[in-house]
Structures are given as C-alpha cells and as structure tokens.
Amino acid sequence: MSDPKTVQDGQVVSMEYTLRVDGEVIDSSEGHEPFEYIQGAGNIIPGLEREMYGMAIGESKEVTIAAKDGYGEVDEEAFIDVPRDRFPPSIPLKEGVELQVSDQSGRPMYARIHEVGDETVRLDFNHPLAGKELHFSVKVVGLRDATDEEMAHRHVHPQE
C-alpha cells in the first residue's frame, strides 16, 4: 500500500461534512463518526466527488454543487397521479408525506405526496433534493488505500 497524501481514485476518504440547502442544514457528520467512501467508485454525488480530488488530510473546503451534478434536475415524468381510493385510510393524504410503494416487479420505491386533489393524489418520485443547489462544508480527516476486497465490492468495509 502506498502512503496517500491527497485524495485520489481508489482511496478511502474519511471526511467531516455539513450539507446546507436553501440556507438550512440538511445533513451533517457533526456528533458522528466521519463519513467514509471510496474516491472514484461513484459512492457520492458526482459534483462533490470531483471537488474532493487533490485535497489533503486536514484541508477544508466550501463547495457549491449545481443540481445537475448533485441529485439531478426535477424530472417532470417522475410525477404520477393515483386515484385517491387506492390509498388506505391509514395514510394521511397531505402534501409532503413520504411513502414507500412497490413497482411492478415488487421493488420498493420512495415517493412524496406532491398534491392532493378531489379525485387523485399526485406522487413525486424525484429525489427530495432534486433541483436543489447543494452547499457542502467538507474537511478531509483521513486517507488510506482501499483494500482489494473494498475495490471489488465498491464500498468501504469496517477496519479492525
């Protein structure tokens, strides 16, 4: 293994981060272990991964990621109208309620109620941060080469 000095492909990056959207903190590693991912493996959004290249341990950075390089633009085709009577009474029909539904193959999908009409409920299958500009504060706190097994699996494994 080499002695990694800056963020490069094939390295496990440990970072502290705070994500802000529209001035509000959406997610943060504060109070938790640093977030770990493999650089170049597509484990994080493309815009942030691109900005991490070349950073050294101890280095901090403020990064703004456009929607297209984050969770994508809002896809108008990701909205579906479902008849109101298809919802069980246990589901509150209110805007913003998050649901887990199944596609035709039985795979789970996540949606949010976008709008409630007299006859239909409009579901939004876009990622909740689609169309949003993302503001990250990041700090690299550790670097190491990914193991062969981690590279084969394309994700970080706990180290002993």
Domains of the chain: total = 2
The mean of the pLDDT values for the chain is: 94
Q: Are residues 117 and 136 in the same domain?
A: no
pTM of the model: 0.83
In tens, the pLDDT along 20-67 reads 999 999 999 999 999 999 999 999 999 999 999 999 999 999 999 999
pLDDT at residue 3 tops 70: no
Q: Are residues 16 and 91 in the same domain?
A: no
Neighbours of 13 (CB within 10 A): 28
Tokens 């440990």, located at residue: 14
Residue 4 confidence (pLDDT): 66
Residue (of 90, 94, 88) closest to 121 by Cα position: 94
Domain contains 16: yes
Q: Are residues 15 and 57 in the same domain?
A: yes
pLDDT at residue 1 tops 60: no
CATH number for the domain that contains residue 62? 3.10.50.40
CATH number for the domain that contains residue 94? 2.40.10.330
Q: 3-class SS at 5?
A: coil
- 130 touches 15 (CB < 8 A): no
Domain range for residue 82?
76-124
Domain contains 55: yes
Q: Are residues 65 and 140 in the same domain?
A: yes
In tens, the pLDDT along 124-139 reads 999 999 999 999 999 9
